[in-house]
Structure 1
Amino acid sequence: MKQFIEAGKIVNTHGVRGEVKIQPWADSPEFLCGFKTLYIDDRPVKILSAKAHKTNVIALLEGVVGVDDAIRLKNKTVSINRDDAALEDGAHFITDLIGLAAVDEDTGRTLGTITDILPLTPNNVYVITGTREILVPAVPEFVKHIDTGAGRVTFRLIEGM
């Protein structure tokens, strides 16, 4: 597993103090607000302040002292250190699930590989690519077991999936 995980993108500046607007790649912007350090171009950057604003994060970063500094960060990807993240029990980073084998709970056969996870409401949807593409809602009724160590996710499918 990768130590540093891409967690969002700086999409714009905000205000005149050098704040940046970050589009988080997480379930909520509050997740990103909980970090003290982000990584940009593999360099640590301390977060001086961060707050959720609609679906984005407005952050003031160390070393960014004005709009000119902030504009240079536009379109940069921000990453987090896996060790700094406190995930809830049973939660996983999407990047850790992409590429895992998808296995049918009833038959034990491999359905394919998880190639994407779509951030839809009310639940994410797993995209399994094998002999055909299967879309499976990320709910306990269908996702029975995730074992990143073994490299597989066990699903219970219903007819028509």
Structure 2
Amino acid sequence: PPPDVMRALGLPQPPVMLQYEMTAKNNSLYNTLSIFDVYVAGQVLKKLLATYPDAVDGQEAVSLKKAQLIYGALDSHADAYTVIPTSEARSRMNICFRVVKGGDVDAAEKAFLAEAEKLRLTGLKGHRSVGGIRASNYNSISLEDADKLARFLVAFAKA
């Protein structure tokens, strides 16, 4: 029932995040998880547990390998890419860099994103207020996907 009906009946009020009316009014964005996101996370976890029976250690090794592939490609082509954070502060999950090939960063990044899209490498555009390129390297990204991106980074730098 709506909160006003519950108040009129003297019933306790549920937390705001559990009130359907509030959730609907805010497009499911009022301190609640999207059911689809929870489902996807569950599917990813099931796959990870099936693929890496030693759980955390196995996934950590894969995560490190994926990051090494991508950072290795970026570092080996410093004339084409500038990694945003210093090597001591690098993230394995969000690998941020600029495409500096040719000197015109904006044009180079547009060309990079267009070529990446042709290979179905998507979601690489950086944050709208910061720009650049951001390769999200979450657990759902396979080692093969990271290798594909690393090979593209090398090919684009050499082209």
TM-score range, shorter chain: under 0.3
Tell me which protein shows more strand as a share of its residues: 1
Decide which structure has the larger Cα Rg and report it: 2
TM-score (normalizing by structure 1): 0.24
Query: TM-score if structure 2 supplies the norm length?
Result: 0.24
